[in-house]
Amino acid sequence: MASSQALFDSIPTCYATVSIGTPDTPLDQKLEAIAAAGFQGIELGFPDLLSFASKRQNQEVQAQDFDTLCHVAPEVKQLVEKKGLKLVMLQPFSNLEGWPEGSDGREDAFRRAKGWIRIMEAVGTDMLQVGSTDSPHAQGNLDSLAADLRQLADLLAAKNFRLAYENWCWATHAPDWKDVWEIVQKVDRPNVGLCLDTFQTAGGEWADPSTASGLIERAGGREALQSQFMTSLQTMSRTIPSEKIYILQISDAYKPSTPLDAKPDGSGLRPRGRWSSCLRPVPFDGGYLPVVDVAKAVLRTGFRGWFSMEVFDAGPEGSDQDWKDMKAYAKKAMASHKRLLEEAAKS
Helices and strands counted in the chain (H then E)? 12, 10
SS3 annotation, 208-256 = CCCCCCCECCCCCHHHHHHHHHHHHHHHHHHHCCHHHEEEEEECCCCCC
pLDDT at 3: 65
What is the DSSP-derived secondary structure letter of residue 18? G
Per-residue confidence (pLDDT) for residue 218, from 0 to 100:
83
Among the listed residues 120, 49, 41, the one whose alpha carbon sits nearest the alpha carbon of residue 85 = 41
Q: How many CB atoms lie within 10 A of CB 51?
A: 21
Q: Give the containing element (helix H, strand E) for 15.
A: strand 13-16
Distance CA 100, CA 21 (A): 38
Q: Specify the pLDDT at position 268.
A: 84
What pLDDT sits at residue 57?
95
Spatial neighbors of 147 by CB under 8 A, at least 6 apart, are none
SS3 content of the chain, % helix, strand, coil (to 5): 45, 15, 40
pLDDT of residue 332: 97
Q: pLDDT by residue (tens digit) across 254-300?
A: 999 999 999 989 888 899 999 999 999 999 999 999 999 999 999 99
pTM: 0.96
**Identity of residue 26:** P
The backbone torsions φ and ψ at residue 79, rounded to the nearest 5 degrees and listed phi first, read: -60, -45
Report the run of H or E that residue 145 belongs to, with start and end.
helix 142-157
pLDDT at 319: 84
Would you state the pLDDT for residue 1? 65
Calculate the alpha carbon distances from 238 to 113, 233, 246, 301, 344 in Å: 33, 9, 17, 7, 17
Regions of the chain with pLDDT less than 50: none
- Contact residues for 231 (Cβ-Cβ < 8 A; gap 6+): none
Q: What is the DSSP letter of 207?
A: B
SS3 9: helix
